[in-house]
Amino acid sequence: MQLLYQTHSPYARKALVFAHEVGLADRLEVIHHETSPTNPNEVVFAENPLGKVPVLLRPGESALFDSDVICAYLDTLHPHPKLIPQSGEARWSALLLQAAAQGVCDSGVSLRWETLRRPEALRYPPLAEGFKLKLVTTYGWLDEQIRKSLHISIGHIAVATALSWIEFRNLPSWREHKNLAAWMDEFSTRPSMLATPLHGEAVDHR
């Protein structure tokens, strides 16, 4: 299988960390692709109508896109305990953590547009403040929730890849939340995280 990837995307990294955690990384050919709303990537658009990574290309099958979908698919391919619990409160806890992490990424991406990537004359500071508020309140929620589940799940992978990207992009920090920071420092030492470092810059124009 081929994974269309981006070395500075938290969404793509989530899928690759997941593959490492379930022992499937050696079955993936990881291919970096730059994508941006202002710099369309024709190769990615050919496989995903949204023009975004990650995209999983499967021999003889249709392409899968979106990190949630790709992780759910990968979780069907291994014999180990599932990282997306199939029932009970463990399932809802994992999916809720994942939803919060995705919101952190979405808000962080939007904040970068309003403070860095959009031409200065087109930026709207009140909108940037709204995105900052979403980040800060979610950090507080995660600080209370992250230790309630002792077993690794898709939620933990999503949180770790989101927070590492926030720090990578120098966005409002989560470090003042001690439980969250301690958990993150520990999770960051996992081989799956060490094997998938973030690097590179967004390319918005050719």
CATH classification of the domain holding 144? 1.20.1050.10
* CATH code assigned at 21: 3.40.30.10
Decide which of 47, 74, 101 is a domain's last residue: 74
Residues 178 and 154 in one domain: yes
Which residue, 145, 147, 135, is CA-closest to 175?
Answer: 135
Based on the fold, state whether residues 67 and 110 are members of the same structural domain.
no
Closest Cα partner for 113 from 102, 100, 99, 124? 124
pLDDT tens across 91-138, in order?
999 999 999 999 999 999 999 999 999 999 999 999 999 999 999 999
Residues 145 and 53 in one domain: no
Q: How confident is the model at residue 180 (pLDDT cuts 50, 70, 90)?
A: very high
Mind listing the pLDDT tens digit for each residue in 135-176? 999 999 999 999 766 689 999 999 999 999 999 999 999 999
Are residues 61 and 154 located together in one domain of the fold?
no
Instruction: Work out the widest C-alpha separation in the chain, in whole angstroms.
Output: 53
SS (H, E, C) 18-32: HHHHCCCHHHCEEEE
Average pLDDT over the chain reads: 96
- Is 83 part of a structural domain of the chain? no
Residue 18 lies in a domain: yes
Q: Are 146 and 62 found together in one domain?
A: no
Give the domain range for residue 58: 2-74
Contact 162, 102 (CB under 8 A): yes
CB 103 within 8 A of CB 173: no
* Whether 92 and 189 share a structural domain: yes
Q: Which is more confident, 181 or 203? A: 181
The answer to whether 70 and 30 are in contact (CB under 8 A) is no
Q: Tell whether 66 and 108 lie within a shared domain.
A: no
Q: Are residues 61 and 98 in the same domain?
A: no
pLDDT tens-digit map of 4-46: 999 999 999 999 999 999 999 999 999 999 999 999 999 999 9
Q: What is the pLDDT of residues 38-59, one digit of tens each?
A: 999 999 999 999 999 999 999 9
Look at strands 64-65 and 2-5 and give their pairing: unpaired
Together in a domain, 118 and 33: no
In this structure, are residues 205 and 13 in contact, taking their beta carbons and an 8 Å threshold? no
Q: Assess if residue 80 is contained within a domain.
A: no
Tell me which H or E stretch contains 5.
Answer: strand 2-5
Read off the pLDDT band of 71 (50, 70, 90).
Answer: very high
